[in-house]
Chains A and B, each alone.
Chain A
């Protein structure tokens, strides 16, 4: 069973507009959530994170929102730039079972159109 789900394989947004990437999770024991950006042939790059006790975290153009009751988080990018075109992964840590690593979603390919 997939504990972290990104239901949109791809998203196309015009340059300068807002990009909203969504993520759902099923395990209520997750205590931290992170977003990563990945270019082809490179490793993922950490973007922003949020603790489960918060509902919002902001860093420059990037804002992550967490809705614990809905088990849903989203990443907002404002304004979107051509360099933002990449695959974005939602990840979670905790989750019980003692594993100290990250559980990833399958990713959303964001395409910023000029």
Chain B
């Protein structure tokens, strides 16, 4: 049981490049979400999904795209990387909202130069 797996762990991009951060979970969770954490800040919600085929925007969605074709996978796409997207990205999954508590991956550290 791997939990939530994020790849890659580290990535350096040039401004304007695109890439996809991968997230997979093996717990059959319906709820999945992406967060970014910047220095001195809490985690901020980028996009979330409540099931396959259903996605919606969070607090800071600009510059990011998501899709959810399967229950297991929830990739995050950076369309044209900018230095402001330098951050640590966390993917999380849960049975549902509320008391269950999300399970987080170990994060992807992204640097845009």
Binding site for B on A (CB under 8 A): 4, 6, 31-32, 34, 36, 41-46, 49-51, 89, 91, 93-94, 98-107
Contacts and interface: CB of A to CB of B under 8 A. Distances in A.
B48 A100 contact: yes
A25 to B, nearest CB: 12
Interface of B: 4, 31, 33, 35, 40-45, 48, 50, 56-59, 90, 92, 97-107
Contact of A100 (B35, B97, B104): B97
B109 to A, nearest CB: 8
B102 A98 contact: no
B98 A46 contact: no
Nearest to A105: B42
Contact of B56 (A93, A98, A106): A98
A106 B31 CA distance: 23
Interface SS, A side: strand
B105 A93 contact: no
Contacts of B4: 43
B22 to A, nearest CB: 15
Nearest to A9: B40
Contacts of A91: 42-43
A98 B57 CA distance: 10
B101 A49 contact: yes
Given A32-B97, A32-B98, A99-B48, A46 B42 contact: no
Contacts of B97: 32, 93-94, 100
Nearest to A50: B99
B99 A32 contact: yes
B101 A100 contact: no
Most central of B33, B35, B101, B103 by chain A CB within 10 Å: B101
Contacts of A49: 98-101
